[in-house]
A and B are shown apart, each in its own frame.
Chain A
Amino acid sequence: MTSRQVFPPLTLRAAGLVCGRGGMALTHDLTLAVGPGRCLLLRGPNGSGKTTLLLTLAGIVAPLEGSFALEGADAETGPNLHYCGHRNAVKSRLTVAENLGFWAAVNGATGMAVAGALDEVGLGRLGTLDAGYLSAGQSRRLALARLLVSLRPLWLLDEPTAALDSEGHELVTRLIERHLAMGGIAVAATHDPITLPDPACMETMVLGARP
């Protein structure tokens, strides 16, 4: 518990969770508990169910069995999670700042200002550029900036470092670290090593091999 704590203490808890797609179970009997200020890294080969688990936790895919809950969450405050998937949800016909400003408006501008968030992810000077001209890595950075403009306690990150350069990897690490310091929770599926300065707040879960 640090003085910068902004989120109420929440715990993501799952018991006997079986996730799968199309009726085929991919993860078996998962039990997890991630407390405030902690990060869970999901690892495992392709097809081991990392994305499916994240989609299940995001409430988009129904679990085959078992249940999960974000304990301590107040349903009145609206959605509590940010999902950052493979697709960046960037509209190529809008400018970079318009893209981010839109998400700030519909998700609630509770976090950083748009310009500040763009600076943070290294797109500060590209605000007026059409997002269609961004490279894959820059689009990814824009998607990450979305997490900063609205404060939400739970981050579900699917390959957050995909298409990012080595400086981008440090950026992701820095963002997660700051989020945890505020009392947030992060669940990240990744193949790249993410090493937080404080290894004590990291857990790793290895999901099963391809059937």
Chain B
Amino acid sequence: MTAFRAMLRRELRLALRGGGDVLTLVLFFVIVGAIVPFAVGPDRALLARIAPGIVWISAFLAMLLGLDRLFRPDHEDGSLILLRHAHLPLSATIAAKLIAHWLVAALPLIVASPFLAMLLAMDEPTFWRMLVSLLVGTPALAAFGAVGAAVTVAIRRGGLIAPILIAPLSIPVLIFGTGSITAPQSAAAMLFLAALSLMAVALAPFAAALAISSAED
């Protein structure tokens, strides 16, 4: 348990001392959402209708952007080889990385989402549903992203391949994510989203550990 905590602490320290990294993702998230009103025109009714989808797309793209940071720095400085030989099992290492990744790449987006909701003329009940759906759904995006990043970490330009690999996996998350905000049976969609998140988070550390430990250096 101390090893797990040490891993988590290290990841958070590295991310927060990077400073700019976290802010970049938040800015990207807000900018993607903010340019949509300019592109579709100043129709408040239309904006309010498509706002949940825009928020989810922005969150998805911002989380893709942060994916390369998950394993590549450790791969490049040789830490990843050593983590394979650590006393802490590799799947636990990756679970710690996944939690840290969610805390620095998804939580700041959720904190910034009220700003985006304002820009997109979202009404208040929709906003609260969006907040819950982001909280419930982003762990699934982080988990699928971790698997994609683990599979591609040993490939030189893998950072570009990972998004292509995980986009199909993320489509259900987007469907149920926006569904839980707007669909008539939004409660059912929210339950599906929660199930998806729980399953992805439970399986991703093992899948990612398998991918990393079977890759040659």
Q: Quick one: closest A residue to B83, CB to CB?
A: A106
With beta carbons under 8 angstroms apart, the residue of A82, A85, A94 that contacts B78 is A85
B156 contacts the other chain (Cβ, under 8 Å)?
A: no
The tally of residues in A whose CB lies under 8 Å from a CB in B reads 30
Interface pair A106/B78, CB less than 8 Å apart: no
* Shortest Cβ gap from B6 to chain A (Å): 3
CA distance A85 to B6 in the complex (A): 23
B77 contacts the other chain (Cβ, under 8 Å)?
A: yes
CA distance A100 to B87 in the complex (A): 15
CA distance A24 to B175 in the complex (A): 47
Interface size, B (range): 20 to 34
* Shortest Cβ gap from B202 to chain A (Å): 22
B211 contacts the other chain (Cβ, under 8 Å)?
A: no
CA distance A146 to B87 in the complex (A): 13
- Residues of chain B in range 10-64 having any CB-CB distance to chain A below 8 Å: 10, 13-14, 17-18
- Number of A-B residue pairs, CB cutoff 8 Å, is 73
Contacts of B178 in A (CB 8 A): none
With beta carbons under 8 angstroms apart, the residue of B6, B18, B217 that contacts A60 is B217
With beta carbons under 8 angstroms apart, the residue of B7, B17, B85 that contacts A83 is B85
Contacts of A83 in B (CB 8 A): 81-82, 85
Interface pair A89/B216, CB less than 8 Å apart: no
- 14 additional A-B pairs beyond A86-B78, A87-B76, A93-B14, beta carbons within 8 Å, are A58-B85, A81-B85, A82-B85, A85-B78, A89-B79, A91-B14, A94-B17, A101-B6, A105-B5, A105-B6, A106-B6, A106-B87, A107-B86, A108-B3
> Chain B: residues with CB nearer than 8 A to chain A?
2-3, 5-7, 10, 13-14, 17-18, 76-79, 81-88, 93, 216-217
